[in-house]
Amino acid sequence: MQNSFGRKKVILMFLLPAFIIYTLFVVVSVIWAGYYSLFDWSGVGDKTFLGIRNYVHLFTKDTIFWSTAAHTLVYTIICILIQVFGGLVFAIFLTRITRFRAGLQTLYYVPVVISSVAICQIFTKLLSVTPIGVINAVLSIFNPDLAFMEWISNDALSLPVAAFVEGYKYLGLYMVIFYAALIGVPKELEEAAIVDGANVVQQYLHVKIPYIRPVIVANCVLVLNGSLRSFDISYLLTKGGPGNSSELMSTYMYKQAFTSMKYGYGSAVAMAIVAICLIVGLVFRKITERGDEE
Amino acid sequence: MSRSTKKHIFAALKIIVAGVLLIFQVYPIFYVIMSSMKTTEDFRKLASYALPGSVNFSNYIKVFTTSPMVTYFKNSIIITVGVLIPLLLISFMAGFALSKIQFKGNKKVLSYFLLGLMLPFQVALIPLFTIFNKLNLLNTYPAVILPQIAFSLSYSIQLFYSFSKFLPDEIMEAAIIDGCTPFKTFFKIVFPMSTNSLLTVATMQGVFTWNDFINAYTFTRSTNMKTVTLGLNDFVGFMGTTDWGATFAAITVTVLPTFLFYFFTNKYMLGGLTAGAVKG
């Protein structure tokens, strides 16, 4: 097989189509954005060469960018808590039930297949104040004041609410991955733990969860990557507001370019996002690799 | 407490937890479908969590008569198919070659493709927008389809790479000995053997493409090019604050296709995730 498939021409035929499209649209685009980031440009007319002045401004004067970076960090932490911990709890629960397991798994996954536009609309209505939405209506049973609780237009809450909705949408995805990992834990390990007198909680804490540690780390990387570049929920649910309270790096970049027509500056923000994503991704990959060697 | 009472309590607890989790995950969609059948009267008089006074589909009629929903569906179908067919073909070829053929630089090429998993899609929007603008490609299908294929490649190649590891070499070797060219072996032997993997990637990427927002939002401006997701966004912007019933009907209309699709193919979608993430 190696003789027949291993020829240069064959390898090229298999790899070239993907290589060309990927390079042209993904890699060249990023490099191109790097080129734009050196200019002052509104998308039409002449570009004015600025050198690194966009970056100097971004790193020294642009306080909004740094607040969006902080928001992205908070957003990512909330998403990791919901998706990784929530997903793990859902998955552990699934392994404990005997009947309707496949059906429940299918239904628990439902939010993942709903588009962000629809999810945001649904939550806008659920969290509505006028008329009183389901969540406030239910909360007001316990405390009547909560009927008028603002969620989305409250600058202290809009960021956590957006992060919660994002976490909620993708929780099912991580549940499925954890579930597959948990049922892959060798039966002998569980039996050995039972012989040693471990109860159910101890089995999970000391045997199963340590065994699937690589999957937990891998999921953290996935959530991290997903949250660092998440866009839809903040853009659609809270519109980044009120004020800039739920603006993320990616929505800030988008608005700089396509709303304020600052293509050059928007590109500089984009490059900062790429740098942050790559650094975080590579650092995490290093940690994962070290974990695998143990 | 006797052993059997304890057992019963645990069984009951499990049912309760299963129910709570189910409500948490499924209630929003149940709420949307119920609300889509409410009349304006119902919205004014009933509590938000109440069921509709009667079953009526007038909101649905309104959605289809006041918005070009049919055009939106046509566009979404064209774009989803237009993304899936080339994407599956080229990512399968690349993933298969990277996993089955040993050559110098093999690992490097794989890492090059997987780098895309860490790159945020939004970064490419500015350059692509200006290029498409210059080439007069904005508001065309290729402007939505091509970037989507390119940015889905990393993940699809990773999945096909993991799947291909499990293909037995012997069958391909036998085909080669019988005189098949590598291309013929791939299309006549490997392709039919891999229907499960193909369906897995197709269902996952199909749902992602159908639900895409930012890509279509950036590269299309005219109404007759809009997709279902964008159409929903517009419809809500237009009707959202005044006509809740129609808004809920519009959400239901856009969500139902992915839903039905998912319930028929969930075996592949859930299977693909685990294969891609656990073994990847």
ipTM of the complex: 0.88
Band the pLDDT of B204: cuts 50, 70, 90: confident
Distance (Å, whole) CA A190 – CA A200: 10
- The CB density around residue A146, as the number of other CB atoms within 10 Å, is 15
Return the DSSP state at B52. Answer: P
pTM to 2 decimals? 0.89
Residues of A in contact with B147 (CB under 8 A): 25
Tens of pLDDT, residue by residue over A67-84, are 999 999 999 999 999 999
Of A107, A117, A282, the CB nearest to B233: A117
Task: Give the closest-approach CA distance of B26 to chain A in angstroms.
Answer: 7
Beta-bridged to residue A48, according to DSSP, are A40
Any bridge partners for residue A49, and if so which? A39
DSSP B223-238: GGG--HHHHHHHHHHH
3-state SS assignment for residue A194: helix
Q: Give the whole-angstrom CA distance, residue A141 versus residue A121.
A: 24
Query: Across the strands, what pairs with A179?
Result: none
Contact A268, A255 (CB under 8 A): no
How many C-alpha atoms does A149 have within 13 Å on its Cβ side?
21
Band of the pLDDT at B5, cuts 50, 70, 90?
confident
Cross-chain Cβ contact A109/B214 below 8 Å: no
List, in sequence order, the alpha helices (H) in chain A. 2-5, 8-22, 28-36, 53-60, 63-80, 87-96, 101-108, 110-113, 116-126, 134-142, 158-183, 187-195, 200-202, 209-211, 213-228, 232-233, 249-258, 263-293
**What is the per-residue pLDDT across B83-134, written as a single tens digit (0 to 9) for each?**
999 999 999 999 999 988 888 888 999 999 988 888 888 888 999 999 999 8
| Greater pLDDT, B1 or A82 | A82
Report whether B127 contacts B245 (CB < 8 A): no
Provide the token pair at B144. Answer: 């939505």
Is the Cβ of B247 closer than 8 Å to some Cβ of chain A?
Answer: yes
Asked if B50 has any chain A CB less than 8 Å from its own CB, the reply is no
Check A22 against B129: CB less than 8 A apart: no
Note whether A155 and A243 are within 8 A (CB): yes
Q: In terms of CA atoms, which chain A residue is nearest residue B215? A: A232
Q: CA dist A101 to B63, B243, B266, Å?
A: 37, 39, 14
Quick: pLDDT tens for B216-249.
999 998 888 999 999 998 888 776 567 888 888 9
Tokens coding B77? 């179908």
Q: d(Cα A120, Cα B211) in Å, to the nearest integer?
A: 13
**What's A260's DSSP letter?**
S
Q: What pLDDT does B280 receive?
A: 38
Give residues with Cβ within 8 angstroms of B123, minimum separation 6. Answer: A29, A30, A33, A253, A270, A271, A273, A274
CB contacts < 8 Å between A and B, how many? 272
Mean pLDDT of B11-26: 87
The residue of chain A with its CA nearest to that of B22 is: A108
Q: Is B151 part of the contact surface with chain A (CB cutoff 8 Å)? A: yes
Mean pLDDT of chain B: 86
User: Do residues A138 and B49 touch, judged by C-beta distance below 8 A?
Assistant: yes
B246: tokens are 């129609």
Coil, helix or strand at residue A110? helix
Residues of chain A predicted below pLDDT 50: 293-294
pLDDT at B272: 66
Cβ–Cβ below 8 Å for A215 and B278: yes
Pairwise CB contact (< 8 Å): A122 & B31: yes
Report the C-alpha gap between B231 and B217 in whole angstroms.
10
Chain B residues within 8 A of A107 when measuring between CB atoms: 22, 25-26
**Do the Cβ atoms of B274 and A134 come within 8 Å?**
no
Residue B167 class from Cβ within 10 Å (0-12 exposed, 13-18 middle, 19+ buried)? middle
The rounded Cα B30 to chain-centroid distance in angstroms is 21
DSSP for A15-57 reads: HHHHHHHHIIIIIHHHHHHHHHTTEE--SSS--EE-TTHHHHH
Backbone angles phi, psi at A40, to 5 degrees: -100, 115
Q: Which of A184, A225, A274 sits opposite B117 (nearest CB)?
A: A225
Residue A136 · residue A146 · CB < 8 Å: yes
Encoded tokens for B120: 């945020």
